[in-house]
Amino acid sequence: MKLTCLIVDDEPLAVALMENHIAQVPFLALVGKCFNAMEAIAYLEKNEVDLIFLDIEMPYLTGMQLKSFLPEKQKVIFTTAYSEFAIESYEKNAFDYLLKPITFERFLKSVKRLQQTEATKPIVGANVVESHIFVKSGREIIKLEYDDILYIEGLKDYVSLVTDADKVITYKLMRELEESLPANFARVHLSYIINCNKIKKISDNQVIINEKSIPISEKYRDAFLQKVSDRML
């Protein structure tokens, strides 16, 4: 699933750079460009977007002021040449803060983290978050409570859903299953998705669940530790 993006920036060169960055990322889709906050307000009255790349210093309304008019759930990544706005941007509940000139590496790191955050949203149907999943295993269809799942292990074209009592194996790709799991699940390795509620401890590059040591790979480390830090004392 692609994330739709809107660029809001009064500098044409900055817009062109962001447009080029977005074009390089397969899961992003640029749907609009606005050169001031008033254009953005008019656009957003008729359209919804997943993500706004929002400059701070603009005429009429600053990016900070525009953010206060947006719904709380709207994902915003601030883009600016001024580092002094960093603290305020997070107080405004921005997803991230990119300092110009924005390198592609820093840009990609930010949007990959957002992609992984969106992928772990809970399943919602009729405004009710599902508490369980039905898994086809051989000739059986097994009901598993999400709270009972310790971790999920990828086995080529199959996955193994591990609980205290059992292992349920089903024909499914990890990336397909990952998209349907609640927010308390996190991908930590190409072969592992874990239930964060079941973590006993994190030691170096290992997650311990019960007595099982699960590796944390470099690819998923930052997003996983960010999820853990949201609950850290």
What number is the average pLDDT over the span 149-163? 93
- pLDDT of residue 199 exceeding 60, the answer is yes
Give the pLDDT score at 123.
42
List pLDDT tens digits, range 18-57.
Answer: 999 999 999 999 999 999 999 999 999 999 999 999 999 9
List pLDDT tens digits, range 98-107.
Answer: 999 999 999 9
Would you say 143 and 132 are in contact if contact means Cβ atoms under 8 Å apart?
yes
What number is the average pLDDT over the span 136-140? 86
- pLDDT of residue 4 exceeding 90, the answer is yes
- pLDDT of residue 129 exceeding 60, the answer is no
- pLDDT of residue 9 exceeding 70, the answer is yes
- pLDDT of residue 125 exceeding 50, the answer is no
pTM for this prediction: 0.53
Give the pLDDT score at 95.
87
Question: Which residue ranges form the domains of the chain, and what is each CATH number?
Answer: 3-119 (3.40.50.2300), 127-229 (2.40.50.1020)
Give the pLDDT score at 181.
87
Rounded CA-CA distance 32/163 in Å is: 46
- pLDDT of residue 143 exceeding 70, the answer is yes
